[in-house]
Amino acid sequence: MGSLTSRRFGVSDRRSHRSLQRSPYDNRFVGSTGDSMTTKDTDMPAESAPAPAPVAVMSQMLGGFQVSQALYVIAKLDIATLLDDGPLSLDELARRTGAHAGVLRRLVRTLASIGVFATDGDLVRTTPLGAVLSRRHPASLHAVAHFWMETHYRPFGELLRTARTGETAATYQLGEHFFNWIAADPDRSALQSRAMAEVTAGLRAGMFDSYELPDGAVVADIGGADGAVLLTLLARHPGRRGIVFDLPGVVPTAEARIREAGLADRVVTSGGDFFAEVPEADIYVLAYILHDWDDASALRILGSIAAAAKPGARLLIVEGIVPEGDVAHLTKMVDLTMLAVNTGGERTAAEYRNLLSTAGFTLDSIVNTPSPFSIIEATL
């Protein structure tokens, strides 16, 4: 997802950015007779260089799988983590990872050309961009690389079938709902938890810095995973108490995070199924939940909250909102993942208003944040 990378890491190195546009078909790099660029062309200021030809841009888009798979291999071999302490030779990297030295050299060469690595002879180091694939990076996407390539990549190969039939690609390929498939394997489930924590940590940074919770003593984060969102909110509101509610298998992870944050005296956990029953609270949080589900399933989740809550209870939905028109936005790329992998989808403001109204809630306001996500405030 290019939008995610650019928003999250703010790639500003112009050489690296330009290199992402390079293609054998780009008329900045190949002359009209097919000859290589002259030195004069190379020295042309970027500001005066012609825009890349449509065929160059399209060829880059079509070849996106090459980069994503190369990055997956680097993450799987843990190359970026090995380079945390400084440059290593290609031979040393091959020795430590058990990789084929010649293949590794070619992978590094390609990824260095788009700003992931920098090389000096046989020595390799990560750039600030490439370092994000290290397990130890504070904004790591190491688990994301594993999770997306091991669980999302193949369903996207069935996207044409989805376009023709309407059936979610992963459901067809796996023979069951994606989340059921994940839950059936503890290793896959743990990987998903780590990957989602990585994604939301970067996108969530600064989201709640100036946000004031509505009145209410108890805040329940429904589908709260490791509790990160709730803990962030409660850290800014010391008078509130909280509940992290998720599947029973997820609860131990949340309990460990709560203890680590020193909030065990204010936050409890509860295990269950949000389609069936949720705990009573004054404020409910649904962060990155509803977009995973179609309208019928989303209404079941909202119905569980409405059944548990008292009239006047508040609901905070943290989601991206699809903007109107052709403007680029993270939600439009994420929506393709929902289409191929889950049964859900990203929604517009009007669609959220209608969904909430059907479930008995009134949409009060939509609060924009510094992130690609908004906070939708509603009242039962």
Q: Is 237 a catalytic residue?
A: no
What sign for the dihedral angle of Cα 287, 289, 291, 297?
Answer: negative
Q: Are 348 and 324 in contact (CB under 8 A)?
A: yes
Bridge partners, residue 285, by sequence: 221, 316
Q: Are 250 and 227 in contact (CB under 8 A)?
A: no
E strand or H helix that includes residue 162: helix 159-165
Q: Are 169 and 161 in contact (CB under 8 A)?
A: yes
Report in angstroms the alpha-carbon separations of 357 from 164, 244, 284, 288, 311. Answer: 32, 26, 16, 19, 14
For residues 322 and 328, what is the distance between their CA atoms, to the nearest angstrom?
10
Report the residue count for the chain.
380
Bridge partners, residue 377, by sequence: 316, 365
Planar angle of CA 217, 220, 221, nearest 5 degrees? 140
Q: Could you write out the DSSP letters of every residue in 332-357?
A: HHHHHHHHHTSS---B-HHHHHHHHH
Q: Are 315 and 286 in contact (CB under 8 A)?
A: yes
End-to-end CA distance of the chain: 36
Among candidate residues 306, 305, 286, the one with its CA nearest the CA of residue 352: 286
C-alpha 249: how far from chain center:
22
Using the 8-state DSSP alphabet, how is residue 247 labeled?
-
Q: Are 77 and 108 in contact (CB under 8 A)?
A: no
Q: Which of 100, 142, 152, 291 is the catalytic position? A: 291
For residues 331 and 347, what is the distance between their CA atoms, to the nearest angstrom?
8
3-state secondary structure of 379: strand
Catalytic residues, which ones?
A: 291
